[in-house]
Amino acid sequence: MAYREVKERLRGSIAPVVTPFDEEGNVDLAALTALIDWHIESGTHGISVTGTSGEPSSLTLEERKQVMEAAKKAVAGRVPFVPGTGSTNHAETIELTRFAQEIGADAAMVIVPYYNRPSQQALYKHFQAVAEAVDIPIIVYNIPGRTAVNLEVQTLARLAEDCPNIIGVKESNKDFEHVNRVLWHCGRDFLLFSGIELLCYPMLAIGGAGSISATANVVPQKVAELHDAWFAGDVKRAQDLHFELMELNDVLFIETNPGPVKAALGMMGKITPKLRLPLDLPSEENERKIRRTLVKYGLLAETPQ
């Protein structure tokens, strides 16, 4: 299978959409569909679900499939669709990635297994087996702050060499030397996506393909515009947006993602602000900070008294 066309389409802001819940804590597929429509109308270049922002570890396997299928229908081919299919469980990861292929996803994003801290050789074998189980492209998701293990550049380079459908990586590694070496060792046509908000612009500067940024949940138009400006050669505009978004980026990570993002979307009337334990909404003090920031960015009309 040729992956060139998919690689050319997977560019820009791939929004990692949250999983909305209703007041009872059930998955709200209608709200998810509305969010996806809003994203695409706002210029978002691609849609991902059931990644970190989508609380996959709080969903059952069947719920993950329901969210993926509903999202695929909502996207309706308008932009690339890249669901997160990774898990700490190897068999579940393969099952979910096969399901992504079955429903027609453009690619699958597969996280480094969390909690169990596998060795580099075990990581290689895990991702190799997942890649060999499907024909769709794979975006590896490296987020050592969540998984307690870093996928080393040499391991990723082996995978890129041995598995033709491993076409890129979402790097949520704050080490900018590491991400430079990814393109050096994996090839400069390897798709590099930023998962660190303050590295979204810098990664574009070294040849990155785009970002998969939680902030896009709240300001999809601004995040997409940053990428549009960069790809159009308007470096000054892209830089301006990078710095313009910094305060919002910081407040949306004032507590564990996606708590602040869901609080913000709740304030904006986009979703019911609900998470499943053990995650929760931010403290009252931090919610006030989030609200003040949203007002400052023009996302809310005024701060309630």
Active site residue 3: no
pLDDT digits (tens, 9 = 90+) for 95-149: 999 999 999 999 999 999 999 999 999 999 999 999 999 999 999 999 999 999 9
**Alpha-carbon distance 58 to 69, whole Å?**
17
Token pair 């612009």: residue: 201
> 23: Cβ–Cβ under 8 A, 6 or more apart, which residues?
272, 274
CATH of the domain at 229: 3.20.20.70
Residue 305 lies in a domain: no
pLDDT digits (tens, 9 = 90+) for 229-286: 999 999 999 999 999 999 999 999 999 999 999 999 999 999 999 999 999 999 999 9
Query: What pLDDT is recorded for position 4?
Result: 82
Query: What pLDDT is recorded for position 220?
Result: 98
Nearest to 251 by CA among 243, 239, 259: 259
Residue 142 lies in a domain: yes
**Alpha-carbon distance 56 to 244, whole Å?**
30
Active site residue 170: yes
Catalytic position from the list 124, 141, 201, 262: 141
Residue 304 lies in a domain: no
Catalytic position from the list 72, 170, 270, 274: 170
Beta bridge partners of 21: 27
97 within 8 A of 108, measured Cβ to Cβ: yes
**Alpha-carbon distance 36 to 44, whole Å?**
9
Residue 136 lies in a domain: yes
CB atoms within 10 A of CB 288: 12
**Alpha-carbon distance 268 to 190, whole Å?**
37
Residue 141 lies in a domain: yes
Residue 302 lies in a domain: no
209 within 8 A of 11, measured Cβ to Cβ: yes
Nearest to 53 by CA among 304, 252, 295: 252
Number of domains in the chain: 1
Nearest to 186 by CA among 161, 208, 164, 209: 161
Detail the residues annotated as belonging to a binding site: 53, 212
Query: What pLDDT is recorded for position 302?
Result: 77
Cα torsion angle, 112, 115, 117, 122, sign: negative
Residue 305 clears pLDDT 50, i.e. is over it: no
Residue 163 lies in a domain: yes
| Residues of the domain holding 45 | 4-297
pLDDT digits (tens, 9 = 90+) for 151-195: 999 999 999 999 999 999 999 999 999 999 999 999 999 999 999
**Alpha-carbon distance 239 to 112, whole Å?**
31
SS3 169: strand
Query: What pLDDT is recorded for position 2?
Result: 66
Detail the residues annotated as belonging to a binding site for pyruvate: 53, 212
Query: What pLDDT is recorded for position 6?
Result: 85
Structure tokens at 274: 């609900």
CA atoms within 13 A on the CB side of 147: 24
